[in-house]
């Protein structure tokens, strides 16, 4: 785990660290080198002549004042691809709260590398960030201690989710996700796990989850993680799509479309990571996280186009596209969750559901669909405050024709190939009783971090969900 400490003067910093500061930082020594670096209009960086530091990087003030924080992080990422020191000394005296939160999550997330999966030979002596020294004013320290603690807990949940998501799907099966979640949750007495195996899934009527998972040699699972930070009170619920690999089923994807499909379980992984964060923060709240886990495979038992399956709430769905499986497992999991907690404070589902949302919103915004205006407003505000933003897409009865079926209550995809993301959400809303506020987050664009033609899990939208939960607790 990355450790951290606070100092009020650079003279208190351990030697051989990497100093990152604003060009206008008043604490910088008055040397010829630093005067020259301060005069630079762009980023100034050196590893030479900067004792007692191993490296000094001065960043223009404008980067620290960008409310999105993206410019600052874009500048820092190359610096941390090959760190000069295990210790970074960073000037946090004049940083916007949202920018600081994103900065800290970025730094704490350096604790995870793909090499940690131990699937590739790597240099065990390579330098990696292990300690953060924060330069702040004495009067800032008490507030910053709370900020650092919270953001590290969020980052720890993100790292757990990222590690699980990055694991190849031949290892990361539904049962593997269950066992790994149980192992991680065992560290927190406030967390307990409840598992439905394939037989219990059938017995409890989760026909949609069963339909998706029955074609695979690795059977489906439903995992509920319960967090009891208090004994009584409303239960907040999160449901995650956990397709551990998506071939498209008999509606087979092409090779390029299948390459990143091990990440089709990021929604479930992020729900698991969220639960770990809440336990680490020790929040006085009751929460249930539900992971709907299945592999969408081809085979003799795979669901066929035209199959009609029945969900646990009794509704039937015509499966006219086997590659629209995520909404099927989510629908059953949402209905099952609402039956377990008919008075749930809210249900929020998280899923890498549609490529269409990426075409609409790109890679920085998660799609938000809900008919509950209060929930929409609170999630939108939480996204802005956390720097993990959402954007609303419409969801109303004008989408009704998109899910009509002649043979079943609903069909899982519109035959006209229009409004794909919103149509999926319209299907899902049938499985949450109207008295429970419900929202759907399509994270197809944001669940992955894309750089240099490669994709890795991002851990989003855990920051958004924690910020929303904290705000919701305050509102009562």
- Compute CA distances 314 → 169, 311, 409, 468, whole Å: 32, 5, 10, 32
Instruction: Tell me the backbone φ, ψ of residue 336, rounded to 5 degrees.
Output: -65, -40
Question: What three-state secondary structure class fits 304?
Answer: coil
Q: CA 104, CA 112: separation in Å to the nearest integer?
A: 14
H or E element in which residue 33 lies = helix 32-39
E-assigned strand segments in 25-69: 44-46, 55-59
Beta strand pairing call for 44-46 and 3-7 = unpaired
Cα 322 to chain center, whole Å? 25
327 is catalytic: yes
Tokens of 406: 């002649």
What's the number of CA atoms in the CB half-sphere (13 Å) around residue 311?
A: 29
| Annotated catalytic residue within 102, 162, 241, 327 | 327
Structure tokens at 431: 């499985």
Angle between helices 420-429 and 326-340 (to 10 degrees): 30
Q: What would you measure as the largest C-alpha separation in the chain, in angstroms?
A: 79
DSSP 109-128: GGG--GGGG--S---TT---
**C-alpha triplet 395, 311, 431: angle, nearest 5°:** 25
Does residue 461 have a cis bond before it (omega within 30 degrees)?
Answer: yes
Contacts of 393 (CB under 8 A, 6+ apart): 357, 360, 367, 368, 369, 421, 422, 425
Helix (H, G, I), strand (E, B) or coil at 432: coil
- The closest alpha carbon to 354, from 400, 321, 332, belongs to 321
Antiparallel, parallel or unpaired: β 448-451 and 454-457:
antiparallel
Going from the C-alpha of 103 to that of each of 123, 148, 182, 281, 386, the distances in angstroms are: 27, 10, 30, 19, 11
Is 401 among the catalytic positions? no
Answer for the pair 258, 233: CB distance below 8 angstroms, yes or no: no
The residue from 128, 192, 253, 340 that is catalytic is 253
Angle between helices 97-108 and 373-386 (to 10 degrees): 70
Give, as one character, the DSSP assignment of residue 253.
Answer: P
Helix 462-475 / helix 141-166 crossing angle, nearest 10 deg: 130
Rounded to whole angstroms, how far apart are CA atoms 64 and 57?
Answer: 13
Catalytic residues, which ones? 253, 327
């Amino acid at each position: 785990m990355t450790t951290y400490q606070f100092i009020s003067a650079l003279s208190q910093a351990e030697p051989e660290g990497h100093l990152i500061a604003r060009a206008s930082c008043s604490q910088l020594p008055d040397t010829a080198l630093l005067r020259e670096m301060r005069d630079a209009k762009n980023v100034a960086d050196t590893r030479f002549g900067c004792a007692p530091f191993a490296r000094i990087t001065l960043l223009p003030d404008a980067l620290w004042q960008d409310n999105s924080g993206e410019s600052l992080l874009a500048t820092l990422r190359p610096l941390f691809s090959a760190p000069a020191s295990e210790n970074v000394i960073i000037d946090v005296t004049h940083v916007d709260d949202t920018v600081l939160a994103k900065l800290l999550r970025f730094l704490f997330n350096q604790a995870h590398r793909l090499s940690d999966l131990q699937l590739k030979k790597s240099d065990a002596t390579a330098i990696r960030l292990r300690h953060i020294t924060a330069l702040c004013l004495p009067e800032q320290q008490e507030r910053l201690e709370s900020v650092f603690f919270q953001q590290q807990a969020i980052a720890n949940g993100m790292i757990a989710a990222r590690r699980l998501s990055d694991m190849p799907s031949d290892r990361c099966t539904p049962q593997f996700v269950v066992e790994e979640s149980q192992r991680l949750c065992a560290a927190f007495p406030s967390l307990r796990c409840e598992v439905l195996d394939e037989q219990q899934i059938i017995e409890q009527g989760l026909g949609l989850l069963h339909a998706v998972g029955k074609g695979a040699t690795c059977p489906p699972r439903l995992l509920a993680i319960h967090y009891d930070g208090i004994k009584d009170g409303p239960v907040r619920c999160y449901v995650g799509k956990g397709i551990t690999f998506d071939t498209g089923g008999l509606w087979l994807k092409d090779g390029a479309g299948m390459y990143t499909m091990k990440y089709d379980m990021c929604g479930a992984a992020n729900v698991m990571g969220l639960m770990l964060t809440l336990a680490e923060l020790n929040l006085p709240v009751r929460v249930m996280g539900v992971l709907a886990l299945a592999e969408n495979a081809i085979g003799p038992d795979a669901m066929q186009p035209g199959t009609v399956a029945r969900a646990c709430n009794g509704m039937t769905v015509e499966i006219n596209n086997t590659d629209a499986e995520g909404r099927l497992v989510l629908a059953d999991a949402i209905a099952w969750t609402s039956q377990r907690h008919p008075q749930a404070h809210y249900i929020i589902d998280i899923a890498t559901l549609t490529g269409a949302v990426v075409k609409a919103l790109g890679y920085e915004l998660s799609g938000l669909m809900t008919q509950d205006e209060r929930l929409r407003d609170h999630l939108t505000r939480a996204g802005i405050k956390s720097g993990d933003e959402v954007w609303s897409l419409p969801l109303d009865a004008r989408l009704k024709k998109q899910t009509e079926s002649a043979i079943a209550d609903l069909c899982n995809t519109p035959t006209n190939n229009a409004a794909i993301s919103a149509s999926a959400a319209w299907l899902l809303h049938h499985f949450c009783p109207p008295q429970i506020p419900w929202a759907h987050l399509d994270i197809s664009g944001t669940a992955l971090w894309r750089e240099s033609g490669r994709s890795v899990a991002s851990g989003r939208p855990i920051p958004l969900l924690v910020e929303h939960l904290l705000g919701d607790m305050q509102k009562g």
